[in-house]
Every structure is written in structure tokens, then in C-alpha cells.
């Protein structure tokens, strides 16, 4: 079901800090974070459909000495599904290709968002950007909109929806992570705290659950920032089938020469309880 938090244009040295939990069925085949051989993309990969939920543009190039250097252009993207009780159709295209198509295109974020054929996909929230602009769009009535400077937390409803999990993540980031980045933007100073916040498994009380067409029991199970391995769906055993599969931190860093470097670090979970 997934959740993404974006600190956009809050810090001079780190104009983008993006935190992501990818929640997915445990049996869905997935390749961990790597440089793709067939496209200029650095990301994890959904082996079933070929796309990704989060990635950056990165192209490996040999230098004169025979080693490899990596060329980047500052492009990054993330996609989340939209939970409204409408099942994906068999003829709908993979939402992960929205990320790969943006990362390999030359269009600005806004131009790309405006040309998406929205009805070709099941419900999604898409956030795309480069060093200068970030845009969010979905196919549930939210037109392409630039992100303002600030902290944005998005899950599987409308971008402005205040779900328990989005507000809990927002509050903990403001209290525990953003102050650390403001003190020292070096990764080793704040990323452990960020992963700790992404691992919050506190569930919502019943009166703070969203209404997305699912039962109260399922809504509560999915209401935490981190979803522990659970039995989800029509299964005959008590073996966990769903949970948070990947946690990622994506950053865009500006150096003294005003050049930008994008980076992702991730950690994977195998479906066993933490």
C-alpha cells in the first residue's frame, strides 16, 4: 500500500529528502536496488511487470581508463497505488512504467504529468521531479500540481488526506529527523533516525481509520507506517503474505559548484517478523 514522505526545498544542501516504504505481497518477485542493464535507471525492480516504485536516472559510462562513471541528470520519481476499492483491470498498464518512462524521458516534470493517459492505469499517486521542480498527479481527480517547499506525506488516498499513518509519519519526521538534517546534512548523521521512523508499526485506533472500501480489521492492519508481515487475502494457511518489503531514502544533494547528485539507499525485508 506504501507511503512516501518528501522534504522538498527545505535544506540548501539537500533540496530533496524522500523516505519510502513499499508494501507488497511477499510472493511478488522483486529485484533489490541495482543499476539496470537495459535502461539508465538505478532502482529496485518489480520482476513481474518490469517497472519500479522508486528510482533515479543514472547511466553508467566507461571513462578513458576503463573504469565506470555514473552520469545523472537529477531526475527522480515514485509511484503509489490508490486505495478506493476499485480493482485493477486486466488490460491496465503497470503503474511502475510511469516511473521508468519519466526517468528516461527529457520532458519537464509538469509536461510529463500533463501528457499521461490517466485512464490506462489503475489508481495511482505519482510524484516526479528533478533538481528544480517536483509535481504530483493522480488519476482520481488530482490534476498535475507543483509541490510547494515543505514536508509532504502521501499514502494511498488523495495527497491532502490526513490518514493516521501520514500524520504520524509527518509528526515524527518534524520532531526526530528534520532537526537532525538541519544540524548536519551528512547521511551518517540522520539516516539511522529516518529508518527508525519508517519502522513505526503503531496502528490507528478504530475511530481514525480511513474509509476505502475495506473492512475495519484490514484497515487497521494497514494503518501503520510499517506493516508487519500479515496474512492478507484468501489464503488457507497462517503464513504471512503481505507487508513492508522495502524501505528507501532518496536524496538530491547540491555541492559547492551547484551541481546535483541523486542517491538511494534501501533495505529489504524477507517477510519474517522483525
CATH number of the structural domain spanning residue 86: 3.60.60
In a domain, 274, yes or no: no
Contact 239, 229 (CB under 8 A): no
Are the C-beta atoms of 246 and 267 separated by less than 8 Å? yes
The set of cell numbers assigned to 128 is 516526479
Over the range 152-181, which residues count as b (16 or more CB within 10 Å of their CB) and which as e?
bbbbbbbbeeebbbbebbeebbeeebbeeb
> What's the CA gap between 12 and 88, in Å, rounded?
40
Residue 142 lies in a domain: yes
Share above pLDDT 90 across residues of the chain, in percent, rounded to a whole number: 82
In a domain, 204, yes or no: yes
Query: What pLDDT band is residue 257 in, cutting at 50, 70 and 90?
Result: confident
The lowest-confidence range among 9-23, 30-44, 222-236, 243-257 is 222-236
Say which DSSP state 214 is in.
S
Confidence band, pLDDT 50/70/90 cuts, at residue 118 = very high
- What is the residue range of 162's domain? 3-268
Contact 255, 263 (CB under 8 A): no
Compute the Cα dihedral for 225, 271, 19, 22 and give only its sign: negative
194 close to 185: Cβ distance less than 8 angstroms: no
Separation between Cα atoms, residue 266 and residue 54, nearest integer Å: 10
Burial degree of 259 (CB within 10 A; 0-12, 13-18, 19+): exposed
Q: Is 273 within the bounds of a domain?
A: no
Structural domains in the chain (count): 1
pLDDT tier, 1 (very low <50, low <70, confident <90, very high otherwise): low
Of 121, 102, 104, whose CA–CA distance to 113 is shortest?
A: 102
Is pLDDT at 233 greater than 90 in this prediction? no
pTM of the full predicted structure? 0.94
**In-domain check, residue 18:** yes
Task: Assess whether pLDDT exceeds 90 at residue 272.
Answer: no
| Residue 272 exposed, middle or buried by CB count within 10 Å (0-12, 13-18, 19+) | exposed
Distance CA 146, CA 130 (A): 12
**What is residue 122's predicted lDDT score, i.e. its pLDDT?**
93
Amino acid at each position: 500500500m506504501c507511503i512516501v514522505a518528501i522534504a522538498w526545498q527545505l535544506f540548501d544542501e539537500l533540496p530533496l529528502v524522500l523516505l519510502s516504504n513499499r508494501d507488497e505481497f511477499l510472493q511478488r518477485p522483486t529485484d533489490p536496488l541495482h543499476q539496470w542493464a537495459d535502461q539508465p535507471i538505478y532502482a529496485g525492480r518489480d520482476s513481474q511487470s518490469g517497472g519500479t516504485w522508486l528510482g533515479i536516472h543514472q547511466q553508467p559510462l566507461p571513462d578513458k581508463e576503463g573504469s565506470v562513471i555514473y552520469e545523472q541528470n537529477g531526475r527522480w520519481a515514485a509511484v503509489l497505488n490508490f486505495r478506493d476499492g476499485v480493482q485493477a483491470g486486466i488490460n491496465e498498464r503497470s503503474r511502475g512504467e510511469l516511473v521508468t518512462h519519466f526517468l528516461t524521458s527529457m520532458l519537464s516534470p509538469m509536461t510529463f504529468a500533463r501528457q499521461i493517459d490517466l485512464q490506462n492505469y489503475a489508481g495511482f499517486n505519482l510524484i516526479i521531479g528533478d533538481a528544480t521542480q517536483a509535481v504530483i498527479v493522480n488519476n482520481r481527480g488530482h490534476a498535475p500540481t507543483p509541490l510547494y517547499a515543505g514536508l509532504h506525506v502521501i499514502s494511498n488516498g488523495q495527497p491532502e488526506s490526513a490518514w493516521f499513518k501520514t500524520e504520524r509519519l509527518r509528526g515524527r519526521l518534524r520532531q526526530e529527523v528534520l532537526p537532525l538534517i538541519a544540524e548536519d546534512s551528512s547521511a551518517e548523521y540522520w539516516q539511522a533516525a529516518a529508518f527508525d521512523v519508517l519502522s513505526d508499526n503503531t496502528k490507528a485506533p478504530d475511530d481514525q481509520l480511513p474509509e476505502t472500501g475495506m473492512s475495519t480489521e484490514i484497515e487497521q492492519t494497514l494503518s501503520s507506517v510499517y506493516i508487519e508481515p500479515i496474512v492478507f487475502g484468501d489464503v488457507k494457511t497462517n503464513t504471512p503474505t503481505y507487508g513492508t518489503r522495502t524501505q528507501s531514502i532518496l536524496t538530491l544533494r547540491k555541492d559547492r559548484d551547484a551541481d546535483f547528485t541523486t542517491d538511494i539507499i534501501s533495505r529489504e525485508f524477507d517477510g519474517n517478523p522483525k
